[in-house]
Amino acid sequence: MKVILLQDIYKHGVAGEVVDVADGFARNYLIPRKMAVQATKSALKGHKALTERVEARRAQYENKLNEVARQIDGTELIFERRAASTGKLFGSVTNQEIADALLKATSIDINRRRISQQNIRELGTHEVTVRFGTEITPMLSVIIVREGELQDFLRAREAGELEETAEGAEAVEGEVEATAEANVEEQPEAVTEAVGEPETEDEAETNA
């Protein structure tokens, strides 16, 4: 059924838009709550004033979407799944499961249809695009590990991060030591320049 939205309806549109919705959703929810009216000819004529504000509201809506897009960009979602030795899953990770995991991780609810990725059927890391916002295209990092190996995966990753941190600290320490050694080597020359070369016996007698 075509309806004219009288309020912003999440995942459907902004006030003043004419949208198609399920008949039951319109009759049992939107229209009784005065959130929309059926888009009859007379209703379409009468909502001109409202449509004049649609573009401004649409801009606000886009700004909200872009803000949400920035919030979810780069979010990491980890799933455990049974898989064959080849890495193929016994089943798949669906768009709805990704949307549910994103809601749990960020408290942001998105329509699964905004997730462009087809169902994922292999172990590994998958970059998943979300069709959301106009300024950036948010990407989700979906990691699928073999069932029963999640804790091992997390420990291995933590150990890797700690190793990288340790290597970074060693590199900094090495640079500090090299700088200190270079400074020590330069000091005798500086002392010699300030004091002068020691006198020979002939120079000492002449000066006396």
Question: Which of the 8 DSSP states describes residue 161?
Answer: H
Instruction: Kindly state the tokens that stand for 83.
Output: 């898989």
pLDDT tops 50 at residue 48: yes
CATH 3.10.430.100 domain extents, the chain = 69-147
The three-class DSSP label of residue 88 is strand
pLDDT of residue 13: 87
Domain 69-147 top-level CATH class:
alpha beta
H or E element, residue 36: strand 36-38
pLDDT of residue 169: 47
pLDDT of 105-137, one tens digit each? 999 999 898 898 789 999 999 999 998 767 788
pLDDT of 66-95, one tens digit each? 999 999 999 999 999 999 999 999 999 999
pLDDT of residue 104: 95
Q: How many CB atoms lie within 10 A of CB 116?
A: 11
pLDDT of 139-166, one tens digit each? 999 999 999 998 998 888 888 776 665 5
CATH 3.40.5.10 domain extents, the chain = 2-52
Instruction: Kindly state the tokens that stand for 95.
Output: 């768009």
Instruction: Kindly state the tokens that stand for 192.
Output: 């010699």
Instruction: Kindly state the tokens that stand for 50.
Output: 């409202």
90, 62, 61, 94: which is closest to 77 by C-alpha?
A: 94
pLDDT of 15-41, one tens digit each? 878 899 999 999 999 999 989 999 888
Domain 2-52 top-level CATH class:
alpha beta
1, 28, 27, 5: which is closest to 15 by C-alpha?
A: 5
Comparison of pLDDT for 169 and 35, the residue scoring more: 35
What torsion do the CA atoms of 202, 203, 204, 208 make, to the nearest 10 degrees? 100
pLDDT of residue 30: 92
pLDDT of residue 192: 47
Rounded average pLDDT over 89-104: 95
131, 71, 61: which is closest to 106 by C-alpha?
A: 71
pLDDT tops 60 at residue 173: no
Cβ atoms of residues 110 and 140 within 8 Å? no
Comparison of pLDDT for 89 and 199, the residue scoring more: 89
**Measured distance CA(96)–CA(115) in Å, rounded:** 9
Cβ atoms of residues 99 and 115 within 8 Å? yes
pLDDT of residue 28: 93
Residue 60's contacts (CB-CB under 8 Å, 6 or more residues apart) are 14
pTM attached to this predicted model: 0.56
